[in-house]
Amino acid sequence: MYNKKKLVVLTGAGMSVESGLSTFRGAGGMWGQHRVEDVATIEAWYRDKQKVLDFYNIRRKELLGVKPNLGHAVLVELEKDFDVKIITQNVDNLHEQAGSTHVLHLHGELMKVRSCGPGAEVYDLSPDNYETRLGDTCPKGYQLRPHIVWFGEAVPEMNIAIDIVEKADIFLIIGTSLQVYPAASLLRYVPAEVSVYMIDPNEVSANNREINIINKGAGEGMLELKEKLRKYL
Ligand code: APR
């Protein structure tokens, strides 16, 4: 037995582009079509719950129509040789569908809902019954809301994520513009001697850190990275 090296991976919306989901920023991005203030803040929720619920019902329908892509699959394959820990900003479950075993969701999960009551209990939605409507309540009678971290809300998993990042032997970033905090700040916790790789077909600025950039989409980029990682075995 040998100890596998810890490969810590931070993923964003670009990870799921080749599956058919859109990014948030840039051409065709979600936030070009919807206003954050209308659908992804607690104020939006208090103002018009049905509008927010509808937005996430549509996101779930989209998710149910797509499958994991090559990039997701290569990350699963890497578990053979590395201790792979994925920290994702994505609310889709494509990493899990592909078969990744350690996935931490920083921004919540589309296929879950949460009670607005004091217990904030979380419930799974099923693919046959994924819509939430006004009046859908938890067993204690509180309205159910999307299990999503909205803008302005705390990121409850952040400390766990920092802990994982601090123990990385290799750090990989895939498909995130690194514009949303605190997620983007995780890069600061990567130990100085650890190599950082980034897969993104577009330019991403990550200040104050030397990064090995693979200027490709998630699928092709992961194939190239898999070869580069051989030197750590
Ligand atoms: N493969 C890999 N990366 C890609 C691909 C692809 N095929 N296509 C685009 N990208 C890259 C873009 O170049 C961009 O750098 O994916 C990145 C997506 O950036 P954003 O749209 O900003 O998404 P993300 O960084 O995940 O957003 C963070 O913002 O709105 C919130 O909560 C939401 O979790 C999200 C957070």
Nearest to 167 by CA among 185, 194, 188: 194
Pairing relationship of beta strands 122-124 and 108-115 according to DSSP bridges: antiparallel
pLDDT digits over 173-227, tens only? 999 999 999 999 999 999 999 999 999 999 988 777 899 999 999 999 999 999 9
Q: Domains of the chain, with CATH numbers?
A: 1-21+68-107+155-233 (3.40.50.1220), 26-65+111-148 (3.30.1600.10)
pLDDT digits over 60-69, tens only? 999 999 999 9
- What's the 46 CA to ligand 1 centre distance in angstroms? 28
Using only the alpha carbons of the chain, give its radius of gyration.
18
Q: Give the residue, by CA position, lying nearest to ligand 1 atom 15.
A: 177
Q: CA 183, CA 107: separation in Å to the nearest integer?
A: 9
In the predicted model, what is the mean pLDDT of residues 70-97? 98
Q: Give the residue, by CA position, lying nearest to ligand 1 atom 35.
A: 89
Collapsed DSSP state (helix, strand, coil) of residue 166: helix
Structure tokens at 155: 């990121």
pLDDT of 1: 61
Of 72, 105, 107, 147, which is the active-site residue? 107
Nearest to 95 by CA among 33, 151, 174: 174
Mean pLDDT of the chain: 96
Question: H/E element holding 60?
Answer: helix 49-64
Structure tokens at 6: 């810890």
Structure tokens at 77: 């394959």
Q: In what order do the strands lie in the sheet with 170-174?
A: 103-105, 82-88, 5-11, 170-174, 195-199, 212-214
> How many beta carbons lie within 10 A of that of residue 25, not counting itself?
15
Q: Give the residue, by CA position, lying nearest to ligand 1 atom 6.
A: 217
Pair 193, 170: CB distance under 8 Å: no
Structure tokens at 157: 């998993």
pLDDT digits over 15-70, tens only? 999 999 999 998 889 999 999 999 999 999 999 999 999 999 999 999 999 999 99
Active site residue 107: yes
pLDDT digits over 127-136, tens only? 999 999 999 9
Total-model pTM:
0.97
- What's the 89 CA to ligand 1 centre distance in angstroms? 9
Q: Is the CB of 177 under 6 A from ligand 1?
A: yes
Pair 161, 106: CB distance under 8 Å: yes
pLDDT of 208: 77
Q: Is the CB of 19 under 6 A from ligand 1?
A: no
- What's the 1 CA to ligand 1 centre distance in angstroms? 37
Q: CA 124, CA 81: separation in Å to the nearest integer?
A: 32
Pair 216, 222: CB distance under 8 Å: no
Q: Give the residue, by CA position, lying nearest to ligand 1 atom 29.
A: 180
Measured CA distances, 146 to 49, 132, 149 (Å) = 10, 8, 9
Q: Which atom of ligand 1 is nearest to the CA of 30?
A: 21
Structure tokens at 148: 């999503």
The model's confidence at residue 2, banded by pLDDT at 50, 70 and 90, is: confident
In the predicted model, what is the mean pLDDT of residues 111-115? 98
pLDDT of 223: 98
Q: Which of 10, 18, 25, 153 to mutate to test the pocket of ligand 1 (most atoms within 8 A of CB)?
A: 25
